[in-house]
Structure 1
Amino acid sequence: MNKAITDGLVLMPPPFAQGLDMWSREDGTPGSLTYDGADDAALVPADQDFADCLELLKTEEVQCLRHMGQTPILPGCYLRVTARVKALSGNLPEVRIAAWAGDGNGDHVADLVETGPATPLTTYGKVETVSAIIGTGHRGGVDMPWGLAPVYAHVGLDLTGQDGGVVRIDDLVVEDVTAAFLRDMMNWVDVRDYGALGDGVTDDSAAFAAADAAANGRQVLVPEGRFWLADHVTFENRVRFQGTVSMPADKRLTLTKNYDLPTYITAFGDELEAFRRAVAVLFNYSDHESLDMGGRRIELTEPIDMQAAVANKDFYAIRRVIRRGQFYAKPSSAWDSVQVTSQATYSTASPTKLTNVANIASIPVGSLVQGLGVGREVYVREVNPGAATLTLSQPLFDAAGTQTYTFTRFKYILDFSGFSALDKFVLDDIEFQCDGEASAILLPPAGQIFHLRDCFITKPRDRGITSHGKGCYGMLIDRCQFISNEQPMRAQDRTTIAVNINDNDAKIRDNRVVRFAHFLVMHGSGHVIANNHWFQGDTETDGTRVAGIVLTQPNVKTTITGNYIDNSFIEWTNEHDAAPDFSSEYTFGGLTVTGNIFTVNDVAPWFHWFVFKPHGPGHFIQGLNLSGNVFRAINGKIDRVDHVDTTHAELDMTLARNITVQGNAFNGVAQVIANPVTLEFDIASAQTTWTLEFGDILPFGGRVRTVTSVLAENAIRGDTGSPVSGMPYAKPQQGSDGRSVALVWPEACKGRVQVTARMDNPV
């Protein structure tokens, strides 16, 4: 490479004989002093060694000579500046090549080496040749490595040492010497040099391995062509693909030094195939914990079977990450759901089994199960065609006997159902553009700590994230956004669900969820739901709203904290229980709902933000903290925030325990609620028994079960007006609804009291 030849660049400064007005005694920049007319400089027309040349008398500590023209500095280009100099008389100086570095704005680029090695002039009349190389790279032999900031130079030389000497200088020479560095700059080996043909037929895997072995730190070049690799190939050096490769489905191309999706796309020439190949390596080479998609978008017309991509494993327990990319589902019949109707038998003795399943071979694993007595988000976990049985993700609450079920298998962009178990898998900064064509993610049937962070799930056709087994144990969903494909629809007409959970210890944090039928359908316990914003409203006046969170286990040991709960409610059921009637198990309890913002607008007065829906009789509330929340209704008022849906059964409020409802703010709510609650009562006429009505202020239709304090305000007085010193006793659960307290005094009296009562036993 020689830019003077290939690009016609003018590198050489003009001869001195053309005038000294283009030669600066400073740095060479416009306006600097020149040697034109200077007393210490003269043109010599016929030197015996140089012909025309410049004669200088050294009068300064560093006598500078710079060409005022701009010598271009190009990336990857190396210039050698050469000067021939001889001393005539006086003190003998030293000579060095020097240059001034300028950027594209004409400014000086500081902190660079701008001088070459110094050469002393030791003998009068002896011609010395001094040179230095200027280049962009820090390479051996480069005297002035400047990087990419400078775009031009004012080249020249310096005289250093004692003043008083006279020297003559021949015309400066600037040469492109990039060719001297070409071997290092093109530091690669070509697979063709090791026998690769690239004809798409011949097995080039041995040639690839030989080229990699010979590279020894250099890059391997795969030139134009189609290279067939019949065996595994691992590159220990970086690879640059100009051509493409193909290989059997069970073979892997491992790129240890440039393991990223863009390189695999270049290698295989197809985005989807490249992703599958890169995933296979991710699960088979311990040197890589993550696959960087490099911001690339993969267009899909069918689901990606993740286990089939890996091929040789169906269980993996070492942390793996896929990050920084986008999947886009394009229209295709491959996204259409498979729906099968089949008769089957259910028995509570085997709560997660369907037996005698007709047409069982047609029912895919991961299918949603629907039928009478089937709770929400029940899926097929396993299929046993030989025994004609299905394993379900959850029990059925009222389906004993034989009936016809509908099994619907949604199609997902990433389908992990082929794994038997998968632990510690992370999707980071991935966008799932489902576009109403596909659902997003089907989890593996078992595993723990599946983690989504900073992901976008946009317009899924049916589901965002589905768990059809126990692959959601300890699941983490952080800072993700879920956008529904059903936003224009009325809330009650939507069917899509963002996430379902079957197992314990999920952490759902800092997410934004827009207009799904439900945000979360959650079984299990130990969940943390914090700092999310989900909203499920519509444009209908006095519209119906549906649950944002559905808890399907009675004792949940869960916190719902710091969320913005917008035009939806929390629904607490036991619909995933084969024996939903209360016996000796834990009942509804273990839930903390604190510090949330609840808002709703344009709804009917009977809307409620917190709803119990027991699916069997005998249940009660044992451990609930509903405190420090803000409730606000806009464009209309609602009756109250709490409700018990008695479609299937009622709660036994006579057994309520450990319920705290305190410190909440109510706006646009007709009836506030609290437990314990303190009310003030004025009795104007003397009576022995004061009947104190607590009405509807106790939550969930609760009865006054305990009175914890009675405090008189001022004196309690009898008929004559004299103070009464005797103390009353309280009789709770009075009246037909048990919401009154009888306060019985030793004598007839009147006055004002503050009474604190509870709907529960506090312990």
Structure 2
Amino acid sequence: MNKAITDGLVLMPPPFADGLGVWSSGNGTPGSDTYAGSGTGSFVSADQDFGGCLEILKSSSTTKLRYMGETDILPGCYLRVTARVKAVSGALPSVRIAGWPGQANNTVLSGVVVSGPSTLLTTYGEVVEVSAIIGTGNRNGVDMVWNGAAYGHLGLDLTGANGGVVRVDDIVVEDVTSVFVRDLIGMVDVRDYGAIGDGIANDAAAFEAADAAADGREVLVSAGTYYLGNDVTFQSQVRFEGTVTQPAANRFILQRNYDFQTYLDAFGNEEMAFKKAFQALLNFSDHDSLDLGGRRIGLSAPVDMQAADPSRTTFATRRVIRNGQLQPIEGSAWTPTVITSQATYSASSGLTLSNVTNIANIKVGSLVTGSGVGREVYVREVNLAQQRITLSAELYDAEGTQQFTFTRFKYLLDFSGFADLSQFVIQNVEFQCNGISSGILLAPQGLTFHLSDCFITKPKDRGLSSPGSGCQGMMLDRCNWQSNEQSLTVEQRTTVGFNCNANDVKIRDNRAVMFKHWGVVGGSGTMITGNHWFGGDEASNGVRNGGIIFTQPNNKTVITGNYIDNNFVEWTNEHDASPALGNQFSFGGMTITGNIFTANDVATWFNWIVIKPYGPGHFIHGFSVVSNVFRTINGNIDRVESVDTTFADLDFGRMRAIEFRSNVFHGIDEEARNPVSITHSEATAEQVWIVDSDPLLPFRGRARSIESVVPVDRLTASNGDLMYEAPWVDNEYGDTRREFRVVFKTPVSGTIRASVRMDNPL
């Protein structure tokens, strides 16, 4: 690049032969003395080395020569000033290129270097060339950095002993920008606008100035370390040869080339680049997604996503992180923190622990365990002043004061610092936990978090945890969940794939392998479709755990089209501070339809559907198990459904609206249906026929409703006469109430078929 050619910039001062009136013996500013009127300098027309030249008698400590014309100093333009001199007589001085830097307001630019390297003249008549380079950028090879100068009065200085006579050839000023930049076409260097690049000086203003001047060109951050002490936004394309450092609170936004690779080039560190790119994602509206470019990012510690942008505690605009892999670097930062504290719990304030000791060490997102605490209960909020903790769910039997344990797992991405985070999406990302870390911790509150097409691989403790209602409307789509405990037997496993506490969660088309529980679901309105989750082991007659645990008794849930393999659906009310039936709805509102249930080499008492009430009085009102396939391999099981009576049984006298039909059973000894069709025969004439429904009704329920009784063949009296009378029915007969009586007016024999229900269908 040469500004004299491209922009018609006039750099060369006139030759001395044109007159000495424009050559000053001072600073070169208007009104300063000129050599035309000074007795210390004169023009020599025929020097044998120079032709026409200026002869100067050195008579002061610094004898100056300055061109009074204003030579433009432009950002990005570097000027080399050259002078050839020789000593003629007298004392031998030193010579150097020098100048006066002027600002746009015609005042001197202070605080900058105004002279180049000095050369001592040692021999009379010897021609010596001196030169120096002037520019706005602090670059290697630039002798006088004049950032902020608009023009200069350029020339030279004679220093040292007085009394010598020196001749000076015409001074040359030329554009040497191309010496510094390989290709300046379409590029602006931040150093040309004052960036220092020493990692100490605040170069933010220089970055902003370079971006403003680029005007469509690319900005180059040349080699160096640049400290940015303020927010910086680049609207131009930017390329990094050097790196930047910046406080966490300040933002670095790259509008034109917003991607992870550019941030990695900028910060030179994967973790810092990820944090800064995420910060920019929340603070720049022109991009909705951060593309990791398929890179694996090693993390030495959990990423506090809110701390990456300390200015925000809430965010509710759609943002996406996609296309990469996050992996922990093994170290102590991933060790869970375990705190034991005494606290008081009251069912009347079911989401609160009060009088919590050691509360300052308990963090939001900690798992709460203790006597009477259900599964996957987390700390949602910590109030230090009041020594109070808000929980994600109620405790079923923890009334009074006791010791609780608070375990804070360490997650690759930790969003718990946000008070509210909504519409956040993670897509095509692998969380390669490697048995070192957990995966994702959600914010305590928020809407429609979406995890899609991701891999949650070998989490140490948890795949995804929700410490509050940040899972409201959450969507888990087409993800692969792989446990780190596949080599362990089922009873040894401790990891949980995910939990949710809020409503309207959609869990679709996932695959989950061998967790203790794949999911613990605490909300209602949940849709679980098209998934395959399995949890078996190689043990003979092995035990199995619940694959998905539902902790609300009336949860409006659909489980459809899934492959449920070597685990069971467990339905509880363990997140209820008053688990005995009161004014709340009891178990109901669930549909299980069109699923494949498989079990391999399990104990005979294994069941695929288990209801576990944590308090007395509960019953089922609205439950459909329709058109499913149940199949065992390597041995039969007793039945597909059961009630876990560890805490309480169901009230079988209040069952309503239960459909258990059109299912297929293979390897099941006792097939359950509701209604069930029972065929019963009496070989001798009896007036009262006692028919047993056990074990054909679901959960071995009572014979509550006899919908119909019809003869299969002729009914005959003891004398052989045909009988046509209709019987009446006495339901819930006997000690177990699983029998019913069919009562005729006259003793008869024969065969009947009855349609029997264990519920009231109305």
Deviation at 1:694, TM superposition (A): 1.4
What SS is found at the alignment partner of 2:726?
A: coil
243-252 or 452-461, larger mean C-alpha shift:
243-252
**Per-residue displacement from partner, 1:445-501 (whole Å, max 9, x unpaired)?**
001101100011111111010111111111100000111111111101111000011
What's the RMSD between the two structures over aligned residues? Answer: 1.6
Question: Aligned residue for 2:28?
Answer: none
Deviation at 1:648, TM superposition (A): 0.3
Question: Aligned residue for 1:165?
Answer: none
**Per-residue displacement from partner, 1:543-583 (whole Å, max 9, x unpaired)?**
11110011101001000111111110011110011100111
Q: Distance in 1 between matches of 2:245 and 2:583?
A: 62
Q: Distance in 1 between matches of 2:241 and 2:721?
A: 106
Question: Aligned residue for 2:416?
Answer: 417
Question: Following superposition of structure 1 onto structure 2, how do residues 255-266 of structure 1 map, counting pairs within 5 Å?
Answer: 255-266=254-265
Q: Match of 2:349, as an amino acid?
A: S
**Per-residue displacement from partner, 1:640-683 (whole Å, max 9, x unpaired)?**
11111111001000100000000111111111000001121222
**Per-residue displacement from partner, 1:179-220 (whole Å, max 9, x unpaired)?**
9xx999942222223232322233222222222222222211
Q: Distance in 2 between matches of 1:405 and 1:206?
A: 53
Question: Aligned residue for 1:304?
Answer: 303
- Decide whether the 8 Å contact of 2:338 with 2:408 is kept in 1: yes
What SS is found at the alignment partner of 1:541?
A: coil
Q: Match of 2:563, as an amino acid?
A: Y
Deviation at 1:715, TM superposition (A): 2.6
Question: Following superposition of structure 1 onto structure 2, how do residues 704-715 of structure 1 map, counting pairs within 5 Å?
Answer: 704-715=703-714
Q: Distance in 2 between matches of 1:545 and 1:434?
A: 25
- Decide whether the 8 Å contact of 2:482 with 2:513 is kept in 1: yes
Deviation at 1:223, TM superposition (A): 1.7
Question: Aligned residue for 1:283?
Answer: 282
Question: Following superposition of structure 1 onto structure 2, how do residues 689-708 of structure 1 map, counting pairs within 5 Å?
Answer: 689-708=688-707
**Per-residue displacement from partner, 1:582-640 (whole Å, max 9, x unpaired)?**
11210000000011111111111111111111000000011100111111111111111
Q: Match of 2:417, as an amino acid?
A: G
Question: Aligned residue for 2:522?
Answer: 523
Q: Match of 2:536, as an amino acid?
A: G
Question: Aligned residue for 1:378?
Answer: 377
Question: Aligned residue for 1:589?
Answer: 588
Q: 1:754 to 1:185 in 2, by over 3 A?
A: farther
Deviation at 1:291, TM superposition (A): 0.7
Q: Distance in 1 between matches of 2:537 and 2:580?
A: 36
Deviation at 1:428, TM superposition (A): 0.5
What SS is found at the alignment partner of 2:308?
A: helix
Question: Aligned residue for 1:717?
Answer: 716
Question: Aligned residue for 2:662?
Answer: 663
What SS is found at the alignment partner of 2:487?
A: coil
- Decide whether the 8 Å contact of 2:419 with 2:444 is kept in 1: yes
2:531 matches 1:532: yes
Q: Match of 1:397, as an amino acid?
A: Y
Question: Following superposition of structure 1 onto structure 2, how do residues 591-606 of structure 1 map, counting pairs within 5 Å?
Answer: 591-606=590-605
What SS is found at the alignment partner of 2:206?
A: helix
**Per-residue displacement from partner, 1:78-135 (whole Å, max 9, x unpaired)?**
xxxxxxxxxxxxxxxxxxxxxxxxxxxxxxxxxxxxxxxxxxxxxxxxxxxxxxxxxx
2:639 matches 1:640: yes
Question: Following superposition of structure 1 onto structure 2, how do residues 78-227 of structure 1 map, counting pairs within 5 Å?
Answer: 186-227=185-226
Q: Match of 1:720, as an amino acid?
A: N
653-662 or 200-209, larger mean C-alpha shift:
200-209
Q: Match of 1:247, as an amino acid?
A: Q
Deviation at 1:716, TM superposition (A): 2.0
Q: Which runs of 5+ in 1 are unaligned?
A: 2-178
Q: Match of 2:215, as an amino acid?
A: N
Q: Which runs of 5+ in 2 are unaligned?
A: 2-177
Q: Distance in 1 between matches of 2:384 and 2:201?
A: 44
392-401 or 204-213, larger mean C-alpha shift:
204-213
- Which runs of at least 4 in structure 1 moved beyond 3 Å after TM superposition? 182-186
Q: Distance in 2 between matches of 1:597 and 1:473?
A: 28
Question: Aligned residue for 2:355?
Answer: 356
Question: Aligned residue for 1:237?
Answer: 236
Question: Aligned residue for 1:320?
Answer: 319
**Per-residue displacement from partner, 1:218-263 (whole Å, max 9, x unpaired)?**
2112222212222211111111111111122211111111100011
What SS is found at the alignment partner of 1:262?
A: helix
**Per-residue displacement from partner, 1:247-284 (whole Å, max 9, x unpaired)?**
22211111111100011000111111011111111111
Question: Aligned residue for 1:80?
Answer: none
Q: Distance in 2 between matches of 1:462 and 1:410?
A: 7
What SS is found at the alignment partner of 2:606?
A: coil
- Decide whether the 8 Å contact of 2:702 with 2:736 is kept in 1: yes
What SS is found at the alignment partner of 1:405?
A: strand
What SS is found at the alignment partner of 2:266?
A: helix
Q: Match of 1:413, as an amino acid?
A: L
Question: Aligned residue for 1:572?
Answer: 571
Question: Aligned residue for 2:750?
Answer: 751
Deviation at 1:358, TM superposition (A): 1.5
Percent sequence identity over aligned pairs:
53
Question: Following superposition of structure 1 onto structure 2, how do residues 1-80 of structure 1 map, counting pairs within 5 Å?
Answer: none
What SS is found at the alignment partner of 2:347?
A: coil
What SS is found at the alignment partner of 1:760?
A: coil
Q: Distance in 2 between matches of 1:396 and 1:611?
A: 21
218-227 or 374-383, larger mean C-alpha shift:
218-227
What SS is found at the alignment partner of 1:500?
A: strand
Q: Distance in 1 between matches of 2:298 and 2:473?
A: 31
Question: Aligned residue for 1:541?
Answer: 540
Q: Distance in 1 between matches of 2:247 and 2:607?
A: 59
Q: Distance in 2 between matches of 1:403 and 1:184?
A: 72
- Decide whether the 8 Å contact of 2:248 with 2:309 is kept in 1: no
TM-score by length of 2: 0.75
**Per-residue displacement from partner, 1:428-450 (whole Å, max 9, x unpaired)?**
01111111111111100001101
Q: Distance in 1 between matches of 2:529 and 2:634?
A: 28
Q: Distance in 2 between matches of 1:253 and 1:362?
A: 33
Q: Distance in 1 between matches of 2:360 and 2:231?
A: 36
Q: Match of 1:406, as an amino acid?
A: T
Q: Distance in 2 between matches of 1:366 and 1:234?
A: 34
Q: Distance in 2 between matches of 1:187 and 1:344?
A: 66
Q: Match of 2:649, as an amino acid?
A: E
Q: Distance in 2 between matches of 1:359 and 1:584?
A: 36
Q: Distance in 1 between matches of 2:355 and 2:310?
A: 32
- Decide whether the 8 Å contact of 2:694 with 2:700 is kept in 1: no
Q: Distance in 1 between matches of 2:357 and 2:343?
A: 6
Question: Aligned residue for 1:613?
Answer: 612
Q: Match of 2:682, as an amino acid?
A: I
**Per-residue displacement from partner, 1:39-76 (whole Å, max 9, x unpaired)?**
xxxxxxxxxxxxxxxxxxxxxxxxxxxxxxxxxxxxxx
What SS is found at the alignment partner of 2:585?
A: coil
Q: Match of 1:605, as an amino acid?
A: T
Q: Match of 1:739, as an amino acid?
A: R
Q: Distance in 1 between matches of 2:692 and 2:619?
A: 23
Deviation at 1:341, TM superposition (A): 1.0
What SS is found at the alignment partner of 2:491?
A: helix
Q: Match of 1:400, as an amino acid?
A: E
Q: Match of 1:551, as an amino acid?
A: F
719-728 or 466-475, larger mean C-alpha shift:
719-728
Q: Distance in 2 between matches of 1:499 and 1:418?
A: 19
